[in-house]
Structure 1
Amino acid sequence: MAEIGGLYWESHGRADAEPLILSPGLGGSGQYWQPNIAALAEQYRVIVYDHRGTGRSDRALAGRVTIGTMAEDVIALLDGLGIEKTHFLGHAAGGVIGLALALSAPERLAALIVVNGWSRLDPHFARCFETRLALLRDGGPRAYLKAQPIFLYPANWSSDHSAELDAELEAQLAAFPNADTIVRRVTALRSFDIDDRLAEINLPVMLVVSEDDMLVPAKCSHRLAKGISGAQLGVLGSGGHACNVTRPDMFNRLVLSWLSQAGH
């Protein structure tokens, strides 16, 4: 198993291609990007990793967990891989990690893509977080995971893929981090606030947004676009919070097209 500083990682594509790191959302597992890896790896050295405390990475979380400490893990991963500068694609939690890096270590990023991200806590997804944590506390991991598609996917897509989602549940349960880890990660996401620092971000940024995201309101991405000079919006009319999963072909084309123009 490939590991750097307690972080599991894997590489796809040519070793001499430009690097592109994929950072997942709240679940933290790099397996989230399976619908996208093959297409992106045709042109880039795609590096996926599991966030600390999740997946195949070290499950121990020492000290306070913040988006800043998650960003520090990315820097340690880059250093361990000998990568000075990388493209970075992050979904939700992974996206705000990318935003934190754009402020703390902009010299390490060639281009940043944030999928359904935010600059500060929004009342709607604060309510969603509270609901999900209540499910975890009162119903346990199975109830938490059973409800997860409601927040991630459009209703029609979930209905059409219901059997597939049910089949995935047992594997998700087997890989589920402990409840304290989820609580600490959610606390970090709720505390993230760079709303008054967006003008400081000075690198190519694309903000991919699903207008029908029922977890993170689309207006959060639009707010990021207004605050970050030169940021481009990549708007998907549908796809839900996990739009890279529900509409992978369109998502992959959007990412590759933008990187070919702005990521160099």
Structure 2
Amino acid sequence: MSDPVDLPFTQSEIDGLAVRCFGASDAPAVLLSAGLGGAGAYWHPQIEALARDHCVILYDHRGTGNSSRAPLPSPYDATYLATDIRLILDGLGLSQAHIVGHAAGGIAGLEFIRLWPDRAASLTIVNGWAKADPHFERCFDIRLAIHAAGGADAYSKAQPLFLYPATWISEHLAELDEERIAHAPGFQDEATLKARIAALRAFDARAMLTDITVPTLIITSEDDMLVPSTASRTLADGIASAQVARLPWGGHAVNVTDPGRFNAILIGFLDEHRHNKAQRAS
């Protein structure tokens, strides 16, 4: 769920991608990459806290929100997700940025550092995975079946069940319904959704984990019912230097349900690695 952010920002279109930047342009850059939904607005609970000391970059994934709705390449894979991050950094004149990715955004980040490790000042993966496990695969099947049976509206109505704890949904149901209606025009079409899910299902980073030297933070929710917390443990076991923050409650979208704790963890990690460049190219 996204809250309004009353902060000045700059807006641009970079190779078909809708990009917004908050905070001082000369501050360390933090690029936030959303999950399967793709909308940069997903990160609104983080913007105000991060923008105090960072240039915060939000973007809508290709095929979602206000970004280009042209058909995605076929076959579509994580390389395209990573390339879009590079295009944004290039377009903004940034040599480096701290990369923060939620789920699919984490996969984009992992693929980005595989291809361009020198462009990442750090990597944060929130409820991500190295390879989708059977439960996660089953959830994909269920979500696609809901879309096939009831279209985008039915899919959006079911979405909170996968993202949030039941008690939190009950307390915020009216706001979730309002948000669903407001975001309907920006929802990805069925072909885009299927292509993006196929890319996530095919992704397998297990062999590259031991090669990762970029400072890495893994944030996981123990009660995530979409991506089991064991997936984050696999990442942590494979990335020798990774820091791990395990939250007992918050669900898949823990940055939304528990933004205070989440923001403190993320900002603490970013401050620790503030000496890394994450600045504009000279």
Q: What TM-score comes out, normalization by structure 2 length?
A: 0.92
More deviation in 240-249 or 1-10? 1-10
Answer yes or no: is 1:77 the counterpart of 2:83. no
| Off by >6 Å, runs of 4+ in structure 1 | none
2:26 is aligned with what amino acid? D
1:107 maps onto 2:107 in alignment: no
Q: Specify every segment of 5 or more residues in structure 1 that has no aligned partner in the other structure, as ranges.
A: none
Selected match of 1:36 from 26, 41, 46 = 46
Residue aligned with 1:40, SS = helix
**1:228 and 2:253 are equivalent in the alignment:** no
- 8 Å contact kept, 1:19–1:47: yes
The 5 Å alignment of 1:209-228 reads 209-228=220-239
Give the aligned CA root-mean-square deviation in angstroms.
Answer: 0.9
- 2:66 aligns to what SS in structure 1? coil
**SS of alignment partner, residue 2 of structure 1:** strand
State which drifts further: 44-53 or 194-203: 194-203
Q: Which residue of structure 1 aligns with residue 18 of structure 2?
A: 8
2:40 paired with 1:26: no
Q: 1:128 corresponds to which residue?
A: 139
Identity %: 48
Q: Indicate yes or no: 2:47 matched with 1:46.
A: no
Q: Secondary structure at the match of 1:70?
A: helix
Q: Secondary structure at the match of 1:161?
A: helix
Are 1:197 and 2:208 matched, yes or no?
A: yes
Contiguous gaps of at least 5 residues in structure 2? 1-10, 276-282
Secondary structure of 2:244's partner? Answer: strand
Q: Structure 1 stretch 132-141 or stretch 53-62: which is displaced more?
A: 53-62
CA distance in 2, matches of 1:49, 1:249: 22
- CA deviations 1:90-139 (Å, max 9, x no partner) are 10000111011121110000100000000001101100000000000111
- How many residues align? The count is 264
| Partner Cα separation in structure 1 for residue 183 and residue 22 of structure 2 | 23
Q: Secondary structure at the match of 2:175?
A: helix
Aligned positions of 1:151-190 closer than 5 A: 151-190=162-201
Alpha-carbon offset, residue 38 of structure 1: 0.8
**Could you tell me whether the CA contact under 8 Å between 1:50 and 1:56 is conserved in 2?**
yes
Partner Cα separation in structure 2 for residue 109 and residue 250 of structure 1: 24
